[in-house]
A = this chain, B = another copy of it.
Amino acid sequence: MITERNRASFDTKGLAEHLNGGREKLKRLGELADLLHQQDWGNKSQRYYLNRQDTYEGALKAALGIWDLIRKKVITMEDAMEARKLVDFPGGLELHIGMFIPTLLSQASPDQQAEWLPKALGLKLIGTYAQTELGHGTFVRGLQTTATYDPQSQEFVIHTPTLAATKWWPGGLGKTSTHVVAMARLFIKGKDYGPHSFVVPIRDMATHLPLPGIKVGDIGPKFGYNGVDNGFLSFNHVRVARENMLMRFSKVTEDGKYVPPPPSNQKASYATMVYVRATIVEGAGWALARSVTIAVRYAAVRRQTAAHAGELEVQVLDYQNTAADLLPLLAASYALIFMGKAGMAMYTEFEQDRDRGNFEKLPELHAVLSGMKAVSTTIASDGMEAARRACGGHGYSLLSGLPTTFTHYVQNVTWEGDNNVMLLQTARYLVKQLLAARAGKASGVGSADYTNNAEAELRQRCAVASSRDWLDPALQSAAFRHRSARLCVAVTDLLASASGGKVAFEGPAWNSNTVDLIRLARAHCYFVLHSTFADSVQRLSDEGTLPAPTIAALSKLVSLFALSTISREAGDLLEDGYMSGQQVEWARRQYYGVLRALRPDAVGLADAFGLSDYLLNSALGRADGDVYRALLAAAQASPLNTTEEGPAWDGVLKPLLKPRARL
């Protein structure tokens, strides 16, 4: 491992500091890891052996442990955010912290905040956010839970009219939360005002038993994330006071008059989504980085096959196919982290514009980050599983850290907007931009500006004239841009012809072309992802933020991201003649060349994520490379090994084998 580290062409520690927000921040992460490791609830040595109940309890204790460290002023609130990630033990308080409190902050009136916020912040009540229903997810307007206003008692009657309307999924709902913010359709005098938010107490504060009319419980074990008690909830005509509807924006008066929200509300909620999705994109990069760190380190330690018995076997990282499995994932991790940081910067920029009343950039930002949420979480999920498989048998062991990292993460392709739905939002935006441009209206800004002259773009041809040319980020970017423009024109024409000229954004014609629409959105996101990565590295170079060898290594990653993608998806660029067979062949040869060039930097680029052994909790991914000793030690600690004869000896095996003389 030391040999591998010495091969790196750049200062890995410097890059780790940059990615993690500076030298002090990285140092603090190390101190926090040491501190957490010493806490009962932060010690991860038993983590992979816990059953469901212990996982649930352990996760709660970890969250409360962090809370306690803040209270005792051992750590700051900012530390606590990092500590949650380092302890990596999501539990019953996730949505209290992540949704219940933020919803009160954004949607409750000042009076309501005065009532509930201190209790929520002091953990005197625990809340969650109940929107999704058993049979209704994505389509919020299709939710069936009702909140009917009774002007007599000035109460809302919250009710679950059908089995499929049972609330389903909210984290912490099962056994932890005492309150929920429930999304329900507001009815006043028989009229449906659509989904609104209501604070509903669901458990008795003295006994923690469900209140009358409430049926609540845990939805059962899941692929991962089992520390969280995702729950179900149904209401049987449960009454709450009028004041329990969150009334910062829309209101219901005592006599049952509905006051609609101001129109700017919609934009504010889009802005929140933009913020959340930028976080998800960077998070995708870090999640993938974690699996890739483990896999790259193990591929440097692991050896497989020698020409002759007795010879030292070959490091698996020296097989081209292993390098091709892992190094593009390394590049993707970097691309996503830089994309997330850029997305956050764009959000900050937008906030400044917004404060000047300028919402101009919001639609583009929202549209791109919707699709980017989908693309980033898919790249991360698929990449994590690919990294796991690249570790052979040991990747199948929980002790490698790889299976649980994946199973915890992969829900990201579904929650916060199903990935297909997200991509269709991006596609809708792009098609609209193209239609506007064709109608002669001012159109595409930012990444979608190709819609302004898409027809001209169709006539462009790839300018690469040698294998070396493919190392030019501008020529790489041109290819991604061309693909996106071509697919945009193609699917827009399809939609128009499917509905007699006028494009409809829902209904049968739309639903019958979603494959091509998703293909367009994905292509657009790859275009943005690549160009943002290339631009970020260029800026770091121009500003002298990082030394030249580091920039050189990052530039190779930009090329690797581009060329591995173009090689794999060459058909998209060959189909209309943009690229020739020779140009694809050059791209592939250059791709293999970059793999070779990056081989000495592989472990260094993994190290540069700066992920601690504490975070990784992986026998395979240890920084010191002493994997086999670690695997054996961890295995011996497994509960099945508590006794030498094992749990089935007395009850099952002994009666069968009937003790007799040794064979």
Binding site for B on A (CB under 8 A): 48-49, 51-53, 56-57, 60-61, 64, 92, 119, 123-126, 132, 134-139, 141-142, 163-164, 166, 168-169, 174-176, 178-179, 192, 194, 201, 204-211, 217-223, 229, 232, 302-307, 309-310, 313-314, 318-322, 324, 385, 389, 392-393, 395-399, 403, 407, 410-411, 413-415, 418, 420, 506-507, 511-515, 518, 569-577, 581, 584-585, 592, 596, 628-629, 631-632, 634-641, 644-649, 651-654, 656-663
B575 touches A218 (CB 8 A): no
Choose one: B194, B205, B229, B410; the contact of A659 (CB below 8 Å).
Answer: B205
Residues B53 and A210 in contact, CB atoms below 8 Å apart? no
Instruction: Report the minimum CB–CB distance from A233 to chain B (whole Å).
Output: 11
Q: How far is the CA of A136 from the CA of B306 in the complex (A)?
A: 11
Nearest Cβ on chain B to A499's Cβ, whole angstroms: 14
Residues of B with C-beta under 8 A to A123: 656-657
Q: List 19 A-B contacts (CB under 8 A).
A: A92-B648, A119-B663, A123-B656, A124-B658, A126-B657, A163-B628, A163-B629, A175-B647, A205-B657, A217-B636, A217-B644, A219-B631, A221-B398, A222-B403, A223-B397, A569-B571, A571-B572, A571-B573, A576-B581
Q: Name the distance in Å between A561's Cβ and chain B's nearest Cβ.
A: 17
Interface centre among A302, A411, A414, A646 (most CB of B within 10 A): A646
Cross-interface CB contact of A635 among B142, B179, B232, B641, cutoff 8 Å: B232
A309 touches B652 (CB 8 A): no
Report A246 CB to chain B, min CB distance, Å.
15
Q: Pick from B174, B175, B192: contact of A309, CB below 8 A.
A: B192
Contacting residues, chain B, for A657 (C-beta < 8 A): 123-126, 178, 205, 208
* A219 / chain B contacts, CB cutoff of 8 Å: 397, 399, 631, 635, 638
Inter-subunit contact B414/A653 (CB<8 Å):
no
Question: Complex Cα distance A208/B644, Å?
Answer: 8
Contact partners of A307 in chain B: CB under 8 A: 506-507
In the assembled complex, which residues on chain B have CB atoms less than 8 Å from the CB atom of A637?
A: 220
Kindly report which residue of chain B lies nearest to residue A659, judged by CB atoms.
Answer: B206
Shortest Cβ distance from residue A507 to the other chain B in the assembled complex, whole angstroms: 6
Chain B residue at minimal CB-CB distance from A651: B57
Q: Which residue of B lies closest to A225 (CB)?
A: B396
Q: Which B residue sits closest to A125, measured CB to CB?
A: B663
How distant is A417 from chain B, measured CB to nearest CB, in Å? 11
Name 15 extra pairs, CB < 8 A, besides A164-B628, A219-B635, A232-B635: A52-B639, A142-B309, A142-B313, A206-B661, A208-B645, A208-B654, A217-B638, A220-B398, A222-B397, A229-B640, A305-B506, A318-B511, A324-B515, A571-B574, A575-B581
Q: Is the CB of B662 within 8 A of A204?
A: yes
Which residues of the partner chain B approach A207 to less than 8 Å between Cβ atoms?
Answer: 645, 659
Query: Chain B residues near A397 (CB, 8 Å)?
Result: 219-223
| Contact (Cβ within 8 A) A175 B575 | no
Q: Known contacts A92-B648, A569-B571; is A319 also within 8 Å of B514 by CB?
A: yes
